[in-house]
């Protein structure tokens, strides 16, 4: 069994923001596989669904703790389902990648993403897989990055977002197939931008 965590903030005011691309991506995966979300956890602090990808069972998780405390819900689910860090994958926004890029990574720092920081602290390790969804930097230096990530995707952005989600779903399928398949997909996605 594997744990797939979409990072984001709960509430309609955050629904289509750049910072919520983790929620958007995991919601689409659940919708495509006809999974039902339910409130879960001792503290009722996350939405949870279960799916199967390539014969591998997944717990899908959307922490309802807001981004900065995402790790609390994630570690509770990991302990309950007895899922080790190497079987955990987080989907998150990444300011350091151009909008439209999708990259894969195992381990590393938070890159300033407080959801990843919380996840690494609560799991007591940064050694889990990440699907990095590029949202780019603000177009002007005068725009605060905090305001930028909480801004909504524009109408013209959704074609690119849809394409990113499809690539993220292929990455989830590779994660389901095991470390070797994920590594191949990581090399493929990470190399495409350089070509």
Helices 70-80 & 114-123, crossing angle to 10 degrees?
40
Residue with tokens 């801004």: 151
Among residues 19, 79, 92, 169, the one annotated as catalytic is 19
| C-alpha separations of 18 from 39, 100, 108, 151 in Å | 24, 12, 22, 6
Give residues with Cβ within 8 angstroms of 158, minimum separation 6: none
Mark whether 140 is an active-site residue: no
Helices 21-32 & 158-177, crossing angle to 10 degrees?
70
**Cβ–Cβ under 8 Å, residues 170 and 103:** no
**Cβ–Cβ under 8 Å, residues 32 and 162:** no
Instruction: Looking at 47-157, list the stretches that DSSP marks H as alpha helix, in order from N- to C-terminal side.
Output: 70-80, 114-123, 145-149
Q: Catalytic residue positions?
A: 19
């Amino acid at each position: 069994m594997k744990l797939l965590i979409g990072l984001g903030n709960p509430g309609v005011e955050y629904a289509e923001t750049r910072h919520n691309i983790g929620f958007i991506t995991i919601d689409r995966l659940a919708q495509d596989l006809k999974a039902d979300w339910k409130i879960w956890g001792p503290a009722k602090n996350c939405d949870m669904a279960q799916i199967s990808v390539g014969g591998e069972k997944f717990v899908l998780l959307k922490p309802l703790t807001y981004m900065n405390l995402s790790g609390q819900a994630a570690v509770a689910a990991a302990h309950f389902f007895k899922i080790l860090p190497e079987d955990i994958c987080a989907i998150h926004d990444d300011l350091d990648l151009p909008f439209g890029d999708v990259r894969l990574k195992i381990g590393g720092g938070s890159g300033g993403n407080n959801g990843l920081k919380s996840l690494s602290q609560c799991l007591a390790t940064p050694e889990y897989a990440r699907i990095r969804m590029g949202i780019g930097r603000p177009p002007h230096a005068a725009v605060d990055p905090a305001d930028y990530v909480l801004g909504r995707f524009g109408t013209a952005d959704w074609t690119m977002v849809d394409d990113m989600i499809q690539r993220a779903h292929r990455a989830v399928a590779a994660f389901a197939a095991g470390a070797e398949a994920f590594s191949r997909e990581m090399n493929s996605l990470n190399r495409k931008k350089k070509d």
